[in-house]
Amino acid sequence: MQPVLFLSHGSPMLALQDVPARDFIRDLGPQLERPDAILVVSAHWETDLPTVNSVAVNDTIHDFYGFPQALFDLTYPAPGSFDLASRVADLLGGEGLRASIDPVRGLDHGAWVPLLLMWPGHDIPVVQLSIQSRLGPGHHVQLGKALHALRGENVLILASGSFTHNLRALQRGGAEPDWVKRFADWMHEAIMAKRTCDLVSYRRLAPFAVEAHPTDEHLLPLFVAIGAAGSSAAPSRIHQSTDLGTLRMDSYRFD
């Protein structure tokens, strides 16, 4: 039975910079039982309907600008999986979630940056599933629940987002602001206590939720992970750090 992971992927520069989260993600891959395939849910692919990419080889999408050329030179040509893409679409459809297939799209940086660090050989098939930001957290828990069976099929579900994500509040140096800590502490306590209903209502219940996430998209992969893990799964925080002052890089594993 594969675990479900939620990783905070941070800036695209995570692939190159010497920061604690990079070391953690780089060391995580060898610690895991090697999956037959990986399903990634990234904050950086938003569609109206759940959509899964179905390609022979994944293109590397450099969906950013203003970064060093060395970052644009990185590629992650992992094979895709037509079978897994079809399986994902069928599982979603079986739960009444109409899904679409994209025969072209590759992997955005929310997918390929952590994968490059974890398995640099890019030899494990990877399929990506989109999010639907306008439908909110509850919808994404349901997406995850539909995918639960994949855990027993040696497919790793990797949800890639950010524990806090307010780009206008980034800062270099100085102590972590109180609002970041209070939001992250509330989220951690709710995750560990499996208070899924409270988590789904985080924008109303969590302190400084709007400051931590002006928009939902970078937290939505967490809800997919919670749904896919199932109610009996035990959550654990496997990493905690802060980058650029306010970007919490916390990551969780659900077994």
For 142-169, write each residue's pLDDT tens digit.
Answer: 999 999 999 999 999 999 999 999 988 8
Which conformational region is residue 16 in: left (phi greater than 0), alpha (psi within -120 to 50 degrees), or beta?
alpha
The closest alpha carbon to 46, from 63, 71, 58, 25, belongs to: 63
Arithmetic mean of pLDDT, 211-219: 97
Are 115 and 78 contacting, i.e. CB atoms less than 8 angstroms apart?
yes
Q: Tell me if residue 2 falls in helix, strand or coil.
A: coil
**pLDDT per residue over 123-136, tens digit each?**
999 999 999 999 99
Percent with pLDDT over 90 in the chain: 95
Q: What are the backbone angles phi and psi of residue 194, rounded to the nearest 5°?
A: 55, 40
What pLDDT is attached to residue 81?
98
Q: What is the pLDDT of residues 88-122, one digit of tens each?
A: 999 999 999 999 999 999 999 999 999 999 999 99
Contact between 53 and 61 under an 8 Å Cβ cutoff? The reply is no
Topology at the third CATH level for domain 4-254: Protocatechuate 4,5-dioxygenase; Chain B (3.40.830)
Cα distance between the two ends of the chain: 8
The token duo for 41 is: 């849910």
Q: Compute the average pLDDT of residues 30-42.
A: 97
